[in-house]
Amino acid sequence: MYLYNSATHKKEEFQTHTPGRVEMYTCGPTVYHFAHIGNLRSYIMEDVLEKFLRYSGYEVNRVMNITDVGHLSSDADTGEDKMLKGARREHKTVMEIAQYYTDAFFSDCEKLHIKRPDVVQPATGCVKEYIDIVSRLLEKGKAYVAGGNVYFDTSTLDRYYVFNDHNEEDLAVGVREGVEEDPNKRNKNDFVLWFTKSKFEDQALKWDSPWGVGYPGWHIECSGISMKYNGEYLDIHCGGVDNAFPHHTNEIAQSESVLGHPWCSHWFHVAHLNTSSGKMSKSKGEFLTVSLLEEKGYDPLAYRYFCLQSHYRKALVFTYENLDNAVAAYSKLVTRIAGLTPGGEVEQAVFDAAREKFLQVMGNDLNTSMGVTSLFDVLKLKTNDATKLALIADFDRVLSLDLMAKAEAKREEQKKAQSAKSEGGCTVTGEGDPAIDALVLQRYEAKKAKNFAEADRIREELKAQGIEIIDTKDGASWKRV
């Protein structure tokens, strides 16, 4: 498999530290509010990646943190504590907020057919591990105590900017507009490993540490949780592209400094979902959640389909019009699969060749849009329905569009919807839509009166609505195509 690696800026052959086994880590949500569908785009693409790795024969150990402490509203150790903000907004305790939004996150994931990672660890459960890492960094001279907080010393690194070749000044946290500089920092990129001097008097969660009562910084939790459950060598680390700096950059700095060897060989970053007016956010414009899409009548899996149609490294623009197009394409796919007849023997050679092709397109930097195209290609294959259905079920282990169940439901629905209506010697069979039945009858009458121009006109009118008429011996039947 070839994957783009953001750390080397190249598409590389994916290799693991232990042959056949993938140690995978994903930055989880900060549980102070609902996830918006832009956040969920990353989790959908990471889910496809995990499923594709398993499909390709790897054993995968996937770990995810839940940030329930330490994440300030700016990723750079300043601003308000996100969890406190959520608690104040809803007049609840921080732990109540964390539980509520963790549950909401996994409920959204379930609706989008995102598999739960093998390990899900709330950040508050591993404080001992963070204290251990911070102590070792201090012992090694990679960190310092200033003004009560413990900071990572970025001047001890050979290389800090791992993911980009930008001008350092552009990225320097301290000079970002509106961000006040922390006078305790020795270097502008140094970051907090452990806070004891918090500007939040009412910080709800605090732990004792060798440096005083306080709480961990945001970045340390991912290093601590990953090392605990993935071990010292990580094969792939995932996240949204906005996590690359400073979060992932700082994770690498502290992990490699404490371990004394390279830590994660492969970085997978999913691009933004934008609205037509810019980057999606929880505070600007409509707060787009899975529940909101459902309220508007959208199937969450249609949103998954929408995401799969684009490459994970390309920014994607969300509009309802674009989503409607995905809904139409998804529905067409399901209808066509429903038209296949289950049963019979699979043609193994055809199956193997198509599967090989799917492995190739998806193995080329997780090209999900080609993966979706593969489904339509299967429908065009010169083979029996049993082989087509077996292939679609097989590809859907990775794409998770629930195609087999949806097609079966459609078949049932079509069976039930078949209704017959007789009038004036003509029997109309269809889905029981009175307006369409009436037009089909009108056409029958026109034909009987030898008014073929009118009969053709009605046929065209129905065709424009996606309805096909089939003449039968005692009338006509119609279906949606």
Least distance from Zn ion to the Cβ atom of residue 224, Å: 10
Q: Which of 139, 237, 254, 124 is nearest to 192 (CA)?
A: 254
Segment (H or E) for 239: strand 236-240
Q: Which is nearer to Zn ion, 27 or 44 (CB)?
A: 27
Q: Which is nearer to Zn ion, 236 or 372 (CB)?
A: 236
Residue 82, SS3 per DSSP: helix
Q: Which is nearer to Zn ion, 40 or 375 (CB)?
A: 40
Q: Which is nearer to Zn ion, 219 or 447 (CB)?
A: 219
Half-sphere exposure of 333 (CA within 13 A, CB side): 26
CB 152 within 8 A of CB 254: yes
**Runs of H (alpha helix) within 181-248:** 218-230
Q: Which of 431, 471, 463 is nearest to 447 (CA)?
A: 471
Q: Which two tokens stand for residue 261?
A: 């060897």
Q: Which residues contact 88 (CB under 8 A, 6 or more apart)?
A: none
Least distance from Zn ion to the Cβ atom of residue 28, Å: 8
Q: Which is nearer to Zn ion, 222 or 390 (CB)?
A: 222
Least distance from Zn ion to the Cβ atom of residue 63, Å: 11
Segment (H or E) for 298: none
Q: Which is nearer to Zn ion, 61 or 384 (CB)?
A: 61
What span, in angstroms and rounded, lies between the C-alpha atoms of 446 and 452?
A: 7
Beta strands in 310-384 (DSSP E): 316-318
Q: Which is nearer to Zn ion, 74 or 322 (CB)?
A: 74
Q: Which is nearer to Zn ion, 63 or 222 (CB)?
A: 222
Radius of gyration of the chain (CA): 28
What are phi and psi for residue 342, nearest 5 degrees?
-65, 160
What span, in angstroms and rounded, lies between the C-alpha atoms of 111 and 108?
A: 5
Q: Provide the binding-site residues for Zn ion, judged by CB under 5 A.
A: 27, 222
β-pair partners for 214: 207
Least distance from Zn ion to the Cβ atom of residue 34, Å: 19
- What order do you get walking across the sheet with 467-472 strand by strand? 419-423, 426-430, 475-480, 467-472
Least distance from Zn ion to the Cβ atom of residue 222, Å: 3
Q: Which of 236, 233, 291 is nearest to 263 (CA)?
A: 233
Backbone torsion region of residue 424, taken as left when φ is above 0, otherwise alpha when ψ lies between -120 and 50, otherwise beta: left
Least distance from Zn ion to the Cβ atom of residue 123, Å: 9
Q: Which is nearer to Zn ion, 27 or 270 (CB)?
A: 27
Least distance from Zn ion to the Cβ atom of residue 60, Å: 18
Least distance from Zn ion to the Cβ atom of residue 98, Å: 16
Least distance from Zn ion to the Cβ atom of residue 27, Å: 3
Q: Which is nearer to Zn ion, 238 or 293 (CB)?
A: 238
Name the DSSP class of 309. T
SS3 content of the chain, % helix, strand, coil (to 5): 45, 20, 35
Q: Which residues contact 438 (CB under 8 A, 6 or more apart)?
A: none
Least distance from Zn ion to the Cβ atom of residue 251, Å: 6
Q: Which is nearer to Zn ion, 74 or 477 (CB)?
A: 74
Least distance from Zn ion to the Cβ atom of residue 208, Å: 24
Q: Which of 145, 177, 157, 167 is nearest to 76 (CA)?
A: 177
